[in-house]
C-alpha cells in the first residue's frame, strides 16, 4: 500500500501561528518532489479567506497551493493533484461538500493506489478515517452519511481534552462521549489526539509525532496512553 498521511490534531497551537507547530513535519512530509498542493477549504464558509491563509503559509514553506473551490471540475483537480491538504473547521460541512462534489472515492483512490500524499488538520483528519462519528463539531448540515474517506481503519478525535477534576462544568467530558460511542457494536478504536500531536502514516507504518501524548480508546478495553515517537502501526491492521 502506497498511502502517505499526515494527520494533524489542530492547525493552530496556543502561542503560535497557523501551522507553525508542525511546519517542519509538513516540509518533511511533502518533501521536494511535490511542488503544488491541492487545498480543500470546504469546512469553512469563507473559502476565499481560508485559502489565502493556507496559501500564504504553504508559500513560505516552498509550495504552491491551489484551492479546489477555484477549480472548474473538482474531480479533475483531485486526479491531477501532486499532494492534498484538507483543512479544518466544521466536519459536517466538510463531509457534505465532499459528497456533493463526488470526491470521496477519487481521493481514496489517489491516496491508496497512486500514493498521493494526504495531509489533514482537525476536520480534515476526521474525514480521513472510518467515519466522522467522533468529531467534536455540531451537525450544522447533514451529509448523506457519516462514513468518511476511510484511509485508515479507525477513528480519530482531534483536539482531545482530558477531564478536568477542578471544573464545575456538568456536561459530558470527551472521555465520556467516546465511551458512549463504543457502547455501540462494531465501533473501531478511537485515537484521541491532544493539541500538538499528529500521526504520520507511511504504508503499513504509523508513528505518533508532536509535542503531546495521545490516548487510545478501544471498545471493551482500558484506555492506553502513548508518547510522541510511539509506533502505532498495529492500528492499521484493525479489522484484518
C-alpha cell at 170: 456538568
Sheet holding 197-202, edge to edge: 64-67, 36-40, 84-86, 118-121, 4-8, 197-202, 205-210
Task: Report the alpha-carbon distance of residue 69 to residue 39 in Å, rounded.
Answer: 9
Domain assignment of residue 76, yes or no: yes
Inside any domain, residue 168: no
Contact 147, 155 (CB under 8 A): no
Whole-number pLDDT of residue 14? 86
List, for residues 90-126, the tens digit of each pLDDT value: 999 999 999 999 999 999 999 999 999 999 999 999 9
According to the model, what pLDDT value does residue 166 have?
85
- pLDDT of 214 above 90: yes
Q: Sheet of 224-226: strands edge to edge?
A: 155-160, 190-194, 214-217, 224-226
CATH code, domain carrying 146: 3.40.50.880
Residue 173 located in a structural domain:
no
Residue 174 lies in a domain: no
User: Which member of 88, 128, 137, 197 is catalytic?
Assistant: 137
Number of domains comprising the chain: 1
Domain of 108 in residue numbering reads as: 4-156+194-210+228-237
pLDDT tens digits along 158-211: 999 988 888 888 778 999 999 999 999 999 999 999 999 999 999 999 999 999
* 137 belongs to the catalytic site: yes
Considering the candidates 9, 97, 121, 122, report the single residue annotated as catalytic.
122
pLDDT of residue 15: 83
Integer Cα distance of 219 and 224 in angstroms? 12
Q: What is the phi-psi region of residue 172: left when phi exceeds 0, alpha when psi lies from -120 to 50, beta otherwise? A: beta
In a domain, 32, yes or no: yes
pLDDT for the residue 145: 98
User: How far, in Å, CA of 17 to CA of 175, rounded?
Assistant: 28
Residue 164 has a pLDDT of 82
Q: Exactly one of 69, 159, 230, 233 is catalytic; name it.
A: 159
Q: Does the pTM of the predicted model rise above 0.85?
A: yes
189 assigned to some structural domain? no
Q: Would you state the pLDDT for residue 169?
A: 81
Residue 175 in domain: no
Helices (H), the chain: 23-30, 47-60, 74-80, 91-100, 104-112, 123-126, 174-181
Closest to 194 in 3D by CA, of 14, 5, 3: 14
Active site residue 9: no
In a domain, 186, yes or no: no
- Catalytic annotation on 122? yes
Amino acid at each position: 500500500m502506497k498511502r502517505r498521511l499526515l494527520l494533524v490534531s489542530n492547525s493552530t497551537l496556543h502561542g503560535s501561528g497557523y501551522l507553525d507547530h508542525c511546519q517542519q513535519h509538513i516540509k518533511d512530509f511533502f518533501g521536494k518532489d511535490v511542488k503544488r498542493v491541492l487545498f480543500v477549504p470546504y469546512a469553512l464558509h469563507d473559502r476565499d479567506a481560508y485559502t489565502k491563509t493556507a496559501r500564504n503559509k504553504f508559500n513560505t514553506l516552498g509550495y504552491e497551493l491551489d484551492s479546489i473551490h477555484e477549480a472548474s471540475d473538482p474531480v479533475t483537480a483531485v486526479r491531477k493533484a501532486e499532494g492534498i491538504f484538507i483543512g479544518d473547521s466544521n466536519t459536517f460541512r466538510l463531509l457534505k461538500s465532499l459528497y456533493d462534489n463526488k470526491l470521496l472515492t477519487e481521493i481514496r483512490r489517489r491516496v491508496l493506489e497512486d500514493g498521493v500524499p494526504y495531509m489533514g488538520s482537525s476536520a480534515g483528519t476526521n474525514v480521513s478515517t472510518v467515519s466522522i462519528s467522533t468529531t467534536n463539531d455540531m451537525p450544522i448540515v447533514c451529509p448523506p452519511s457519516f462514513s468518511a474517506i476511510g484511509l485508515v481503519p479507525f477513528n480519530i478525535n482531534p483536539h482531545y481534552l482530558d477531564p478536568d477534576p477542578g471544573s464545575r462544568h456538568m456536561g459530558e467530558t470527551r472521555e465520556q462521549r467516546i465511551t458512549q460511542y463504543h457502547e455501540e457494536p462494531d465501533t473501531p478504536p478511537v485515537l484521541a489526539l491532544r493539541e500538538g500531536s499528529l500521526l504520520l502514516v507511511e504504508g503499513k507504518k504509523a508513528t505518533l509525532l508532536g509535542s503531546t501524548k495521545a490516548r487510545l480508546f478501544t471498545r471493551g478495553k482500558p484506555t492506553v496512553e502513548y508518547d510522541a515517537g510511539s509506533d502505532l502501526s498495529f492500528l492499521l491492521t484493525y479489522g484484518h
